[in-house]
Structure 1
Amino acid sequence: MPEILYALKEDFYFLVPALWFIGYACKRTPFIPDWLIIWILLCIGILASGNLYGWTIQAIADGVIVTGMAVFSHQIVKQTYHRDGKI
């Protein structure tokens, strides 16, 4: 995990919890299917990074990385704390 943090500027760290919150809100919205949530988060991550830091390839890549970090860290928490006891 520390290696991926080096690939991302510190200015982008605040987007991870923001995407967590947006994903949580999407999950609680009844008319948004689960498969669509990741695509919504990806679009928001790219749009946020592009609008905040300029529309460069690096900013778009950082938006993708930040979305991946948000989804991956959410899955780590979910799989660790909400497992059904199987090993």
Structure 2
Amino acid sequence: MLQEIEFTIREDFYFIVPALWFIGYACKRTPFIPDWLIVWILISFSVLAAVSMYGFTVQAIADGIIAVAIAVFSHQVVKQTFCKDEIK
């Protein structure tokens, strides 16, 4: 399964996933940003980063969206596994 994830986005774009975790955490702690807006901020940041690195192509946009999906999914896996008592 891990090998399939490796081929979803370009190798030199892996750095974006932890960066998205950090940006999402900062947005979550900001009181005037509603939760529903956080994912849109992450998508915007990720797609803009991909487009600035690779140019305005469908592959770059897809890489940005897939990176957000990996970041949000991995965050939820960690949250659901280790923070069971805090989730209600």
- On whether the aligned pair clears a TM of 0.5, the verdict is yes
Report the residue type matching 2:28 in the other structure.
K
Correspondence 1:25 to 2:26: yes
Report the residue type matching 1:43 in the other structure.
S
Hey, what's the Cα distance between the residues in 2 that align with 1:19 and 1:25?
A: 10
CA RMSD of aligned residues (A): 1.3
Q: Please name the residue that 1:60 is paired with.
A: 61
Counterpart secondary structure, 2:56:
coil
Identify unmatched segments of 5+ residues in structure 2.
none
Residue 75 (structure 1) shift: 0.5
Q: Please name the residue that 2:41 is paired with.
A: 40
The list of structure 1 runs, each at least 4 consecutive aligned residues, that deviate by more than 2 angstroms after superposition, is: none
Question: Scaled by the length of structure 2, what TM-score is found?
Answer: 0.91
Residue 8 (structure 1) shift: 1.2
Q: Please name the residue that 2:8 is paired with.
A: 7
Residue 4 (structure 1) shift: 2.2
Residue 56 (structure 1) shift: 0.7
